[in-house]
């Protein structure tokens, strides 16, 4: 029956249940729930390197030569857009969020009154950076092999491996996330500061949505200056994709509507055919804004300082690790878990809070991603026409 309920309602149910359990039920019940959270957190740390390998290797291998010289331009523009969005989010959030956190007595998710009944360590087979470098080496190697007509056995293996990891995410991680989040909030409620935490992140979400909308206006203004198109008319044409993404919570699942909406902006058909599907996997500006802002809030809650150098490192790597994040809700945050732990030093409580907070608004990050894809298609189309690349490719 719970499968018929959407992910966001289930997460909200998990938060509410955790708070009620921590406030009103015996400590034994809260500790039992927190024990599950601890073990599940260890499993997440274990699975992260596999997520990186499973997403990035096929993602790079599938880039191929979809549109000749314009492919590199598209990937570069998408990456710059993602990094710019994250950097802008840092510059804004690092000045506004500290005042929000300071105004409330917020609990550190790594601390609290509960202790698990048992502790279990599940060490990952690979470190995050090792997995990332390995993914790039193998991914580029498979890409070369595929497009030189050689054997594709390794590519087939990696796509099946990705399918397995997606199954784990869809059938294990996503279903049990509400229970995982419930344990975190039970710990906060037991400490007496759960409501303050929710109050803080309610304000943070309002800031995130404002930054999403602001970034889209800027991106379409740039696209309009390059192409000569009216940016607000172009943005208006993408509203169906924006609203559809709120429901699907997946860039990949929204591709048909994104293509239909982008066609209204008079973009060359062949550009649409590869830019929109490609950007669904490599352009995640909205997700980066959300992850960066939420991470700043969690760092501040823990009593730390969101240093620019540290977050720039996080943002630059984030734009890479989210390549080919699966078309399932929460794919971006799943791919980002390794960076949250290795670069920002988040523990089980902090990562669990990040997952819950991100997924609670995942649809808004996704609609920014897909709407931004339309702007990138306009830019690539203009570059192709100005350089003559589109005529050359057509010939």
Structural domain includes residue 394: no
Q: State the Cα torsion 144-149-150-152 to the nearest 10°.
A: 80
- What is the residue-wise DSSP string for 27-75? HHHHHHHHHHHHHHHHHHHHHHHHHHHHHHHHHHHTTTTTTTTHHHHHH
Give the domain range for residue 350: 2-387
pLDDT band at 151 (very low <50, low <70, confident <90, very high): low
More confident residue, 190 or 71: 190
Residue 393 or 233, more confident: 233
Q: What angle do CA 158, 161, 167 make, to 5 degrees?
A: 145
Q: What is the pLDDT of residues 335-358, one digit of tens each?
A: 888 889 889 988 877 888 888 778
Report the distance separating Cα 360 and Cα 281, nearest Å.
Answer: 21
Highest mean pLDDT pick, 198-202, 233-237, 269-273, 343-347: 233-237
pLDDT per position as a tens digit, 287-309? 999 999 999 998 988 888 899 99
The pLDDT confidence band at residue 393, using thresholds 50, 70 and 90, is very low
393 part of a folded domain: no
Mean pLDDT score across all residues of the chain:
83
For residue 254, the model assigns a pLDDT of 82
Task: Reply yes or no on whether the pLDDT at 67 is more than 80.
Answer: no
Neighbours of 185 (CB within 10 A): 28
Look up the CATH number of the domain holding residue 25: 1.10.3860
In a domain, 355, yes or no: yes
Percent over 90 (pLDDT), the chain: 26
Overall domain count for the chain? 1
- Give the separation between CA 24 and CA 55, rounded to whole angstroms: 42
Q: Per-residue pLDDT averaged across 61-82, rounded?
A: 75
pLDDT value at position 244? 83
DSSP letter at 267? -
Q: In whole angstroms, what is the distance from residue 387 CA to residue 19 CA?
A: 59
Give domain status of residue 45, yes or no: yes
Closest CA to 66 of 341, 386, 384, 316: 384
The pLDDT tens digits for 108-148 are 665 656 788 888 888 888 887 788 788 888 888 887 787 77
The per-residue pLDDT for range 196-227, each reduced to its tens digit, is 777 787 888 899 999 999 999 999 999 999 99
Residue 208 lies in a domain: yes
In a domain, 392, yes or no: no
Position 37 pLDDT exceeds 80: yes
Torsion sign over Cα 74, 76, 79, 81: negative
- C-alpha span between 315 and 305 (Å, rounded): 16
Residues whose CB falls within 8 Å of the CB of residue 366, separated by 6 or more in sequence, listed in order: 245, 246, 248, 249, 250, 251, 254, 286, 287
């Amino acid at each position: 029956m719970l499968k018929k309920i959407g992910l966001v309602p289930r997460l909200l149910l998990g938060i509410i249940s955790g708070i009620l359990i921590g406030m009103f039920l015996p400590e034994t019940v809260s500790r039992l729930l927190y024990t599950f959270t601890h073990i599940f957190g260890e499993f997440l740390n274990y699975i992260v390197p596999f997520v990186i390998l499973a997403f990035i290797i096929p993602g790079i291998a599938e880039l191929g030569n979809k549109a000749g010289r314009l492919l590199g331009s598209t990937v570069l523009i998408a990456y710059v857009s993602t990094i710019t969005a994250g950097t802008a989010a840092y510059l804004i959030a690092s000045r506004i969020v500290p005042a929000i956190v300071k105004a409330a007595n917020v609990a550190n998710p790594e601390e609290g009154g509960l202790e698990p009944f048992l502790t279990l360590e599940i060490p990952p087979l690979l470190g995050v950076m090792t997995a990332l470098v390995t993914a790039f080496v193998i991914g580029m190697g498979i890409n070369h092999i595929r497009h030189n007509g050689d054997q594709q056995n390794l590519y087939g293996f990696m796509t099946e491996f990705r399918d397995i990891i997606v199954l784990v995410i869809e059938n294990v991680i996503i279903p049990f996330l509400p229970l995982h989040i419930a344990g975190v909030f039970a710990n906060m409620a037991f400490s007496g500061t759960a409501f303050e935490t929710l109050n803080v992140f309610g304000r943070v979400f309002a800031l995130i949505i404002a930054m999403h909308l602001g970034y889209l206006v800027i991106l379409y203004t740039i696209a309009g200056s390059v192409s000569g198109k009216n940016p607000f008319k172009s943005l208006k044409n993408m509203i169906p994709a924006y609203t559809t993404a709120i429901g699907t919570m997946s860039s990949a699942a929204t591709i048909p509507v994104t293509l239909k909406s982008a066609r209204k902006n008079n973009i060359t058909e062949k550009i649409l055919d590869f830019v929109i599907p490609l950007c669904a996997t490599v352009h995640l500006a909205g997700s980066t804004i959300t992850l960066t802002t939420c991470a700043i809030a969690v760092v501040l809650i823990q009593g730390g300082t969101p240093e620019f150098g540290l977050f720039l490192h996080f943002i630059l790597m984030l734009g890479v690790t989210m390549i080919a994040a699966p078309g399932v809700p929460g794919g971006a945050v799943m791919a980002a878990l390794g960076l949250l732990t290795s670069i920002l030093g988040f523990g089980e409580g902090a990562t669990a809070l990040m997952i819950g907070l991100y997924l609670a608004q995942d649809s808004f990050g996704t609609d920014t991603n897909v709407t931004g894809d339309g702007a990138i298609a306009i830019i690539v189309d203009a570059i192709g026409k100005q350089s003559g690349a589109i005529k050359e490719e057509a010939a």
